[in-house]
């Protein structure tokens, strides 16, 4: 049987992504019991911490009639050195999809190579595509189509930034990335998506007339030892009132969370009336239901 993986936003066509967002918005209003994943089981291999991604996938599976098994490396043989190839073959012979959160992106690619069921990227060091489904859904709910809009990414050229670059191409918006020297996004991705993405070292310029401002922590998971150094380097890249006032008056603020108030964003912005972060977080559930339905049902 043919199956699809979702390792990055490029694994779906533009039309499929548009349909998925529309479906997520529709599923959010579903009031009656709807169980397209009855008896389906997701295996969740998480090598990094998670609140939103874990809970949204487990809840999505349960509400759609299926179930999920959370597998931390501490509890599986993966943590004792069993190979990814063997883990993928064995798990995929039992469960209906494998949801993976790990560090190196080539680890999830290996999972997908050896799995005979869909593999979903729940975050790697290179991408966080599930978060972008929720971000685009949230934008569409508040402002309509994101096509042709100006989005400013402020801060690190990290996994979230890379998924924004793919989203800019797939959903056809303009992305300006303001980042400190030495923290640029992946050069290959930049080259691939240069029609939609440009870099800047000037956050003020980047946010001017933006429709959406998005940011993320300055030190991602695995970079905890760089936290102090990064706090100094990124200080000029804080999303605060001054920066936000340069964007369009109806601009939205997003953050994938978890957030560090007083670092990448001030409390008055993330807790203010242009911020949609709670809807954005909640939409992880609905957009991932749509994704699971697309891949499994």
Query: What minimum distance in Å lies between the beta carbon of 52 and ligand NVA?
Result: 7
**To 5 degrees, how large is the angle CA 258–CA 260–CA 261?**
125
Is there binding between residue 52 and ligand CP (CB under 6 A)? yes
Q: Determine which residue in the list 10, 190, 221, 246 makes contact with ligand NVA, applying CB under 6 A.
A: 221
Using DSSP bridges, classify how beta strands 97-101 and 67-71 pair: parallel, antiparallel or unpaired. unpaired
Q: Which of ligand NVA, ligand CP, none binds 158 (CB below 5-8 Å, type-dependent)?
A: ligand NVA
Contacts (Cβ under 8 Å, ≥6 apart) of 36: 64, 65, 293, 296, 297
Is there binding between residue 165 and ligand NVA (CB under 6 A)? no
Q: Is the separation of the CB atoms in 264 and 230 below 8 Å?
A: no
Which residue has the CB atom at the shortest distance from ligand CP?
Answer: 53
Cis peptide before 37 (omega within 30 of 0): no
Is there binding between residue 162 and ligand CP (CB under 6 A)? no
Which residue's CB is nearer to ligand NVA, number 135 or number 216? 216
Query: What minimum distance in Å lies between the beta carbon of 57 and ligand CP?
Result: 9
Query: What minimum distance in Å lies between the beta carbon of 55 and ligand CP?
Result: 8
**Radius of gyration, alpha carbons of the chain:** 19
Q: Determine which residue in the list 56, 115, 121, 158 makes contact with ligand NVA, applying CB under 6 A.
A: 158
Q: Is the separation of the CB atoms in 45 and 68 below 8 Å?
A: no
Q: Determine which residue in the list 211, 216, 263, 293 makes contact with ligand NVA, applying CB under 6 A.
A: 216
Which residue's CB is nearer to ligand CP, number 115 or number 131? 131
Phi and psi at 178, nearest 5°, equal -105, 120
Report CA-CA distances (Å) from 65 to 45, 59, 116: 20, 10, 22
N-term to C-term CA, the chain: 13
> How many residues of this chain interact with ligand CP, rule: CB under 6 A?
8
Q: Which of ligand NVA, ligand CP, none binds 51 (CB below 5-8 Å, type-dependent)?
A: ligand CP
In sequence order, which ranges of 245-276 are alpha helices (DSSP H)?
267-270
Q: How many whole angstroms separate alpha carbon 232 and alpha carbon 56?
A: 34
Q: Determine which residue in the list 27, 165, 243, 256 makes contact with ligand NVA, applying CB under 6 A.
A: 256
Per CB under 6 A, the segment of 49-57, 166-174, 242-250, 286-294 that binds ligand CP is 49-57
Query: So which residues are the catalytic ones?
Result: 101, 128, 131, 216, 256, 284
Give the footprint of ligand NVA on this chain (CB under 6 A).
Answer: 123, 128, 158-160, 216-217, 220-221, 256
Give the footprint of ligand CP on this chain (CB under 6 A).
Answer: 50-53, 123, 131, 256-257
């Amino acid at each position: 049987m043919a199956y699809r993986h979702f390792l990055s936003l490029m694994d779906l066509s533009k039309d499929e992504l548009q349909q998925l967002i529309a479906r997520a918005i529709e599923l959010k209003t579903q009031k009656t019991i709807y169980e397209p994943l009855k008896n389906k089981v997701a295996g969740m291999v998480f090598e990094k911490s998670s609140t939103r991604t874990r809970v949204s996938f487990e809840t999505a599976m349960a509400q759609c009639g299926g179930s999920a098994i959370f597998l931390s490396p501490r509890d599986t043989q993966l943590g004792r050195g069993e190979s990814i190839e063997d883990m993928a073959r064995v798990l995929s012979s039992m469960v209906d999809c494998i949801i993976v959160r790990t560090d190196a992106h080539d680890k999830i690619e290996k999972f997908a190579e050896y799995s005979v069921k869909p593999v979903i990227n729940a975050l790697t060091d290179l991408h966080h595509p599930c978060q972008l489904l929720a971000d685009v859904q949230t934008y569409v709910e508040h402002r309509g189509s994101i096509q042709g809009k100006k989005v400013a990414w402020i801060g690190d050229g990290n996994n979230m930034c890379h998924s924004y670059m793919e989203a800019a191409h797939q959903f056809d918006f303009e992305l300006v990335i303001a980042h400190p020297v030495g923290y640029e996004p992946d050069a290959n991705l930049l080259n691939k998506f240069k029609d939609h993405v440009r870099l800047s070292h000037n956050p003020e310029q980047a946010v001017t007339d933006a429709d959406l401002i998005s940011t993320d922590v300055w030190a991602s998971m695995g970079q905890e030892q760089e936290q102090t150094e990064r706090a100094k380097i990124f200080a000029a890249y804080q999303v605060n009132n001054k920066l936000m006032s340069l964007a369009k008056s109806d601009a939205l603020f997003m953050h994938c969370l978890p957030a560090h108030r007083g670092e990448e964003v001030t409390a008055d912005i993330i807790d203010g009336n242009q911020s949609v972060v709670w809807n954005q977080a909640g939409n992880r559930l609905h957009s991932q239901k749509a994704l699971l339905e697309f891949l499994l049902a």
